């Protein structure tokens, strides 16, 4: 009994450690080895390894699905109109998913040749709005973004330059999160960690999920999203990967997005993302086939194991408690360490009610709140408590 509990405990702990620390090290080592070989090939051939994008610029449709975005929509349209891209080649499509605020009134002055507005009165969910906007567009490239996001001037140029390569199906830009007051958001350390993983996965042709606020693909490759899909950007990029295309990452295609300074305001959004994660696992389980190589490793390590971390945390706590009851001395100290970690997270939550938690408490607070949201999302997914319609978080 004791041995079995110890095995269960250490498997759970090892899974957590590998997910957050081991896998990044694996990525860095494999990416470094691949980069050495790639550099040698490029040096030998005299070619540049930078995406050139020397062909004629494609026409671009920027799609923005909005629900009650009166706070951001005007600035979003102005930002897109000011991009460093030929005006005659860029058109903006804005669709409202049954907004009942001033979104339509604020968009109206911009409507014309370059800004197309579709005010859908029925609340159907973001996937349905995106599908309708994509069907309306006849441009070569679709760029997806959100109403609370802003692009750097060169972002669209940097996205489309990769699509000269026929093997590239999707291009993800770099999304930087800031709090509404312009400071770094509560989970900025974790988001930097995520950007690091995407960068190295991109080097290994194993990038799976695009950043939802800034990514692009050819219009002819777009497939309508099932209406009940929760994380639409992940579904779109994963579909292309499943078809054999590469998803690449361009850290020079910059976008910025407002998020709440208080982590509590994001909890509901994270629960919804958690539902979408388990939904995606069911849809794309075939990508775990070892014959997929690095794609299978990335999907298992970066996604599937990450989504199972909250389950591992529960298993580790329960096994640890049982081992303490069996009077196994080392596990008493390990149990205290777990309690201390969760106590720090709870204290961080208490301190964050008026704003940002103190710096030493942010990592335990974020990890516990994120995994708790995943666990709630897992329950809602199992019980069918979700729809394709999304609700705004305070931003």
Task: For the chain, give every domain's residue range.
Answer: 60-290
Q: Residue 194, Cα to own-chain centre: how many angstroms?
A: 9
Please tell me the predicted confidence (pLDDT) of residue 395.
46
**Domain 60-290, second-level architecture:** Alpha-Beta Complex (3.90)
Phi/psi for 384 (5° steps) reads 70, 25
CB-CB contact of 170 with 248 (8 Å): yes
CA 70 – CA 67 distance, rounded (Å): 9
Please tell me the predicted confidence (pLDDT) of residue 193.
87
pLDDT tens, residue by residue, 55-74: 689 999 999 999 999 999 99
Please tell me the predicted confidence (pLDDT) of residue 265.
62
* Half-sphere CA count of 372, side-chain side, radius 13 A: 15
pLDDT tens, residue by residue, 351-375: 877 666 777 888 888 899 999 999 9
DSSP label at residue 230: S
CA 175 – CA 251 distance, rounded (Å): 9
Please tell me the predicted confidence (pLDDT) of residue 336.
94
Residues of the chain with pLDDT > 70, as a percent, come to 88
Residue ranges of the chain whose pLDDT lies below 50: 395
Please tell me the predicted confidence (pLDDT) of residue 305.
96
Of 66, 63, 60, the residue nearest 145 (C-alpha): 63
Tokens of 140: 């070569």
């Amino acid at each position: 009994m004791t041995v079995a509990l110890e095995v269960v405990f250490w498997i759970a702990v090892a899974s957590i450690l590998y997910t957050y620390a081991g896998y990044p090290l694996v990525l860095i080592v494999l990416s470094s080895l691949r980069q050495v070989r790639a550099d040698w090939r490029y040096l030998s051939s005299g070619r540049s390894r930078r995406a050139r994008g020397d062909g004629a610029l494609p026409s671009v449709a920027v799609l923005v699905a909005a629900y009650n975005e009166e706070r951001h929509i005007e600035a979003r349209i102005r930002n897109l109109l000011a991009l460093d891209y030929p005006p005659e080649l860029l058109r903006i499509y804005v669709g409202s998913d049954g907004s009942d605020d001033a979104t339509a009134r604020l968009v109206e002055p911009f409507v014309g040749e370059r800004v197309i507005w579709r005010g859908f009165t029925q609340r159907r969910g973001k996937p349905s709005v995106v599908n309708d906007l994509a069907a309306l567009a006849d441009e070569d490239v679709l760029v997806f973004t959100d109403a609370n996001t802003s692009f750097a001037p060169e972002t669209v140029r940097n996205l489309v330059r990769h699509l000269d390569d026929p093997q590239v199906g999707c291009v993800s830009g770099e999304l930087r999160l800031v709090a509404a007051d312009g400071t770094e958001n509560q989970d900025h350390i974790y988001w930097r960690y995520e950007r690091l993983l995407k960068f190295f996965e991109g080097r290994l042709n194993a990038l799976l999920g695009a950043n939802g606020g800034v990514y692009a693909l050819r219009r002819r490759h777009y497939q309508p999203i099932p209406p009940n899909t929760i994380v639409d950007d992940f579904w779109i990029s994963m579909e292309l990967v499943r078809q054999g295309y590469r998803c690449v990452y361009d850290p020079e295609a910059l976008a910025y997005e407002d998020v709440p300074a208080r982590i509590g305001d994001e909890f509901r959004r994270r629960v919804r993302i958690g539902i979408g994660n388990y939904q995606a696992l069911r849809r794309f389980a075939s990508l775990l086939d070892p014959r997929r190589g690095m794609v299978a490793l990335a999907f298992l390590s970066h996604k599937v194991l990450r989504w199972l971390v909250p389950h591992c945390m529960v298993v580790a706590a329960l096994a640890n408690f049982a081992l303490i009851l069996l009077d196994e001395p080392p596990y008493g100290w390990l149990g205290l360490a777990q309690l201390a970690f969760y106590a720090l997270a709870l204290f961080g939550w208490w301190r964050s009610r008026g704003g940002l938690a103190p710096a030493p408490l942010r990592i335990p607070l974020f990890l516990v709140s994120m995994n708790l949201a995943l666990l709630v999302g897992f329950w809602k997914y199992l019980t069918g408590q979700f729809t394709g319609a999304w609700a705004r978080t305070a931003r």
